[in-house]
Structure 1
Amino acid sequence: MNDLTSEQISRLADKWLKGTISQEEKALFEAWYNNVPEGTVEWDDDMAHSGRELREHLLQQIRERMEEKRPLTLYKRIPVRYLGAAAAVIVLMMATGIYWYTARKDQSLSTAYNKGTTIQLKPGGNKATLTLANGDVIALEDEQNGKLGQQNNTKIIKLNNGQLVYNSEQGKAGNAPVVLNTLSVPRGGKYNITLADGTVVWLNAASSLTFPAAFTGKERQVTLSGEAYFEVATDASHPFTVKVGDMQVRVLGTHFNVMAYNDEQSVNTTLLQGAVKVQSAAGEALLKPGQQAKMDHTGNVKVAPADINAAIAWKNGLFSFNNASIEEVMRQVARWFDAEIIYPDGIPQDRFQGEIDRNSDITAVLKILEASGVKFTVQGHKILVRS
């Protein structure tokens, strides 16, 4: 069971993470995991409190070995019940070359950081502003929990940091005039809002949502810029529509993600549960769970199987890359750390696959990415990327 190739191990780990691994493949993966010789990464049962904690521990082990220019092996002292977390690290290690890491003579990221420069880039957090119908702007991170205000018959309540609730008084919303509010999340931010109908929306960095304080009429309509994950409250008599530029996503009650950044090549709608119809001037598509619709800049819509884990990784506190280019990777990094990305010598052609905790500091994130051969230098709020 120990003669699996690196490619086979990587493929099995990837299937484990995506939930597509068969019982036979799962047994093979566990057998390999339980029978390889013990190595340098250890995690005793009494230390393993969660898969997330384990992943952070393993990534720290990777970083330490990279700094010391020592190879890293990942073996069986990690409890089998946390093999999913180990699989995430295995995929990243295989994809970036960390698994058989050897010392490189090129300038390393640590060299770029050892010049006394203070790193200004910080991971994102719960930051947003709320613009009311009268133009008043509320910086939510500066507000205490509790009632922030009222729009007609709807109370605006801040629960915990990063959570906003619109509570419409039952039976009165239908008589109230429509007033629009906008929740804006800057680069380096995220926020969660419960709309007046009970729909829950998670907003990613550099995103905004315009919505009525209370839904009236036959339809529920919101406008999105950037990226958001929706869990729409079921109401068959009042369809829910998300407007994104010239595109509309029309639903009754469902869970889906919309990624609509201006600097991306397409607007991606990924369906997890229920059904949605994606409409543009050039056509429309009806999605089933597990599918993704991509609308290009001409309005054409194409449907393909979705990588669900990658599509909603941001909501779960992760960067997730599936054969992603360095430009795709760095666009995510730029939004979350509010950084400017510069390619002084052209754009490297490296590809990336794996997951990284979004709460890691910028040094840790770039350290892991650098193992592929790409080099980074941080200068203030700028990240220079070279081959």
Structure 2
Amino acid sequence: MENRQTLEELYNGYILGQLSAEELVDFIQQVQESDNAAVFEQLVDKSFSQHRIVVDELEGKKAFHRFQKRLQLSNDVSMPAPHTTTSLHKLWQYVAATAAILIMVFLGKQYTIQWSSEVNASLYQSIQDIKPGNTIAYIENTNGIQTPLAIEGELFIRDSYLQDGSGHILPHQKADEEWLNLIVPKGGKYSITLSDGSKVIINSDSKLSFPKHFTATDRRIKLRGEAYFEVSHNPDKPFIVETTLQKVRVLGTSFNIAAYPEERTVTTLITGKVNINTAAESRDLDPGMQGITTSGTIQVRPADLESVLAWKNDKFVFVKTPLSDIIKQLERWYNVSINLQPGSESLSQKTFSGTIAKDASFEELLKLFKTTEAIKVEVREGRIYLMK
């Protein structure tokens, strides 16, 4: 009974941010004891029922990555060696980060719930609270273990290891044919240089699946979401990008693919030549053209390259773009939920034109709409509502 009361007091102190460094060490030790597992789970259950928290494992790790960034910690946080002189400040950084890991990983494992607009209910009280995205990503191995990547925004596949932009070697030392996932959440952007030298820049809310080393016959990867490719030329090894609706085959070229779930897939060719293949059709693209794949059929048309590549160049470029499409882009980059107020559904087809940097505040971006259309904006319970 006494142990339960002690753990509950420490848990409540952690939630309120009131623990001292010594109390945090005690809290970590208490949580790791198997006898306390059931009590700890009950405390978390209570928090969820009282505060209606919605969390998934990816968002838990994303929260910890932001925590690391604020403390300027390395990605491999480790306990100082015994008998090493460590300042209280350094000790505080360790115990705070470790406590964050324990809480976030536990919540992620026990409450794997799809991240949705509900999660923003406790995050945003006003437009000023909404911040633009950043270089955030995770590498996931075949066992589902995810490792947050450095904020430098780059990942390199070396001969026998993975290295992020900070020079940190990642702990994925398995067979060469192992497939990995590079996951870029909402509010993120990241780039990777594959083992053949091809570079891929990955947009928010996307996943790139790739092998450490390609086979002898081709260079095959998989994409869900959006990415820009600069493929190294190799006539003996075609580069193949698989999405839900199509396969794109190239030898060496630059192109963009947008293949988000429940949306049409748009492949835009910048240089070189690509072939788009579906179960029903096959089409070649020339530079400056794009293929739009819907339900197996491919429509080819000229592309507005500036707007297609705007996300890669850290800009929003809208050219008579429907508000419904703009909302999707904003939700991914600012990690927010944007809703049309009942009675204002006709706004979804209103078109807007303009250019603004992606590091602009959300408030600045909203002004872009107001210059051409009388749109009111409100934040209620963490959600953004647009109305006439």
Alignment of 1:183 onto 2:182: yes
Displacement of 1:165: 9.7
CA 256–118 in structure 1, closer or farther in 2 if over 3 Å, else same: closer
Matching residue's letter, 1:273: T
Larger helix share, 1 or 2: 2
Larger mean Cα displacement after TM superposition, 246-255 or 117-126: 117-126
Kept in 1, the 8 Å contact 2:240–2:250? The answer is yes
In the alignment, which residue of structure 1 is the partner of 2:337? Answer: 340
Kept in 2, the 8 Å contact 1:127–1:186? The answer is yes
Matching residue's letter, 1:355: T
CA 306–145 in structure 1, closer or farther in 2 if over 3 Å, else same: closer
In the alignment, which residue of structure 1 is the partner of 2:321? Answer: 324
Alignment of 1:280 onto 2:241: no
- In structure 1, runs of 5+ residues without a counterpart are 1-115, 167-172
Alignment of 1:154 onto 2:160: yes
Q: Once the two structures are superposed, what CA deviation does each residue of 1:281-332 show, in whole Å capped at 9, x if it has no partner?
A: 1201100001000001x21101011111111100000111121111011111
Kept in 2, the 8 Å contact 1:181–1:211? The answer is yes
Displacement of 1:133: 3.1
In the alignment, which residue of structure 2 is the partner of 1:260? Answer: 259
Q: Once the two structures are superposed, what CA deviation does each residue of 1:133-185 show, in whole Å capped at 9, x if it has no partner?
A: 3432101147x99999x99x52111125xx9999xxxxxx9xx6511000000
Q: Distance in 1 between matches of 2:232 and 2:133?
A: 28
1:206-285 alignment, distance < 5 Å: 206-264=205-263, 266-285=264-283
In the alignment, which residue of structure 1 is the partner of 2:358? Answer: 358
In the alignment, which residue of structure 2 is the partner of 1:120? Answer: 129
In the alignment, which residue of structure 2 is the partner of 1:196? Answer: 195
Kept in 2, the 8 Å contact 1:165–1:193? The answer is no
Displacement of 1:189: 0.4
In the alignment, which residue of structure 2 is the partner of 1:368? Answer: 368
Superposed CA RMSD in Å reads 2.9
Matching residue's letter, 1:139: P
In the alignment, which residue of structure 2 is the partner of 1:140? Answer: 149
Q: Secondary structure in 1 aligned to 2:327?
A: helix
Q: Distance in 2 between matches of 1:385 and 1:379?
A: 11
Q: Secondary structure in 2 aligned to 1:189?
A: coil
Matching residue's letter, 1:130: I
Q: Distance in 1 between matches of 2:333 and 2:248?
A: 26
Q: Distance in 2 between matches of 1:147 and 1:122?
A: 24
CA 291–118 in structure 1, closer or farther in 2 if over 3 Å, else same: closer
- Structure of greater relative contact order (alpha carbons < 8 Å, 6+ residues apart): 1
TM-score by length of 1: 0.62
CA 275–381 in structure 1, closer or farther in 2 if over 3 Å, else same: farther
CA 291–378 in structure 1, closer or farther in 2 if over 3 Å, else same: same
Matching residue's letter, 1:335: R
Q: Secondary structure in 1 aligned to 2:333?
A: helix
Kept in 2, the 8 Å contact 1:350–1:372? The answer is no
Kept in 2, the 8 Å contact 1:154–1:214? The answer is no
Displacement of 1:367: 1.5
Q: Distance in 2 between matches of 1:213 and 1:235?
A: 18
Task: Pick one of 130, 138, 149 that aligns with 2:139.
Answer: 130
In the alignment, which residue of structure 1 is the partner of 2:19? Answer: none
Matching residue's letter, 1:228: A
Equivalences, count? 259
Q: Distance in 1 between matches of 2:127 and 2:271?
A: 45
TM-score by length of 2: 0.62
Kept in 2, the 8 Å contact 1:338–1:381? The answer is no
Q: Once the two structures are superposed, what CA deviation does each residue of 1:321-351 show, in whole Å capped at 9, x if it has no partner?
A: 1211110111111110011111112231421
Displacement of 1:381: 4.3
Q: Once the two structures are superposed, what CA deviation does each residue of 1:79-110 show, in whole Å capped at 9, x if it has no partner?
A: xxxxxxxxxxxxxxxxxxxxxxxxxxxxxxxx
Q: Percent of aligned pairs with the same residue? A: 33
Matching residue's letter, 2:198: T
1:22-33 alignment, distance < 5 Å: none
Displacement of 1:375: 2.2
Q: Distance in 1 between matches of 2:325 and 2:278?
A: 25
Q: Secondary structure in 2 aligned to 1:125?
A: coil
Q: Distance in 2 between matches of 1:164 and 1:303?
A: 43
Matching residue's letter, 2:136: K
- In structure 2, runs of 5+ residues without a counterpart are 1-124
Q: Distance in 1 between matches of 2:192 and 2:274?
A: 21
